[in-house]
Amino acid sequence: MRLLVITSEPISGGQLREALPGGLDPEDAEVMVVAPALHDSPIKFWLSDADAAISKAEQVRSETVQRLGGEGVAASGDTGESDPLQAIEDALSTFPADRIVVFTHRDASQRYREDMDDDEIARRFGVPVDHTTVNGSSS
């Protein structure tokens, strides 16, 4: 199984395991982690102030891949576009996932453009979607 994980905060193998439907184990999967370069606010997005968003995405990607690897989950990662749907599309062009797992903040307003519709993702890409929330900072 190939899992595409979209996350805006670092996650662990346990969090990934809990997000998957019963019977699926991330240790039996090839995992690609994509951390979209989400902006803190619409103003930063429209002013193209991307440095902080890219830095945060790189930190999320790196920490998540390291955590997963330390828990026996084979994972690679990349940073993605500020539009999560575009980040998913880009990732699927090189990583044909069998399932997409989306992690977002409980408060959807915490990161600009993080409010994705699971049904839209599944329709657009033809891949089942699992969605869960994660705590984290807005830095």
Task: Look at residue 108 in the predicted model and tell me its pLDDT.
Answer: 54
Backbone phi, psi, residue 64, to 5°: -65, -45
In a domain, residue 41? The reply is yes
Domain count, the chain: 1
Nearest to 78 by CA among 40, 15, 116, 32: 32
**Model-level pTM?**
0.86
3-class SS at 32? strand
Task: Specify which residues 50 forms β-bridges with.
Answer: none
Structural domain boundaries, residue 44:
2-134
In a domain, residue 94? The reply is yes
In a domain, residue 139? The reply is no
In a domain, residue 7? The reply is yes
- What confidence tier does 104 reach under pLDDT thresholds 50, 70, 90? confident
In a domain, residue 77? The reply is yes
Q: How far is CA 66 from CA 12, 47, 55, 103, 133, in A?
A: 9, 32, 17, 17, 20
Residue 76's CATH number: 3.40.50.620
In a domain, residue 116? The reply is yes
Task: Look at residue 138 in the predicted model and tell me its pLDDT.
Answer: 39
pLDDT tens digits along 24-74: 999 999 999 999 988 654 444 445 557 778 889 999 999 999 999 999 999
